[in-house]
Amino acid sequence: MAGNPVYIAFGRGLTFSWFAFSLFWFWASWKQIDQVFNAIAVVEWIGIWLAIWLCATAALAAWEALRAGLLSIRTSETPMLLGRHARVVYASALGLAAFVMTVMLNQPAPDIVYKAF
């Protein structure tokens, strides 16, 4: 059963949904959690989480299909995306992104334009 692609897709969607649900508890204050639970009925909660699960399942299945399609492009023996040149480009882009994020995060906070109002 674990080799069934539908089972795998729904399992990934369920894992992502559980992860998203667990983040809610870490990011929200108790007051916010209380407001959300008081505003939404149980049936609506079930509908929301089913929608999140199905959307996550569809998005992750599309991602895996795209990944499999890109990995099927071959040059000689290995997939093109796993070749030496593709790995160098990927590592360079990742290093550049890390450098840019480090520079941006170490900058002082900008002054607020409307401070005088």
Kindly state whether residue 25 falls inside one of the protein's structural domains: yes
Distinct helix (H) and strand (E) counts, the chain: 4, 2
Q: Quick one: 8 and 38 in the same domain?
A: yes
Kindly state whether residue 115 falls inside one of the protein's structural domains: no
pTM of this prediction exceeds 0.85:
no
Q: Quick one: 65 and 15 in the same domain?
A: yes
Residue 84 has what pLDDT?
Answer: 78
Q: What is the per-residue pLDDT across 45-89, written as a single tens digit (0 to 9) for each?
A: 889 889 999 999 999 999 999 888 877 877 777 777 777 788 888
Domain range holding 47?
Answer: 1-72
Number of structural domains the chain divides into: 2
Q: Which two tokens stand for residue 68?
A: 């499999």
Q: What is the per-residue pLDDT across 6-51, written as a single tens digit (0 to 9) for each?
A: 899 999 999 999 998 888 888 888 898 889 888 888 899 889 889 9
Q: Quick one: 21 and 40 in the same domain?
A: yes
Q: Which two tokens stand for residue 14?
A: 């369920």
Residue 116 has what pLDDT?
Answer: 52
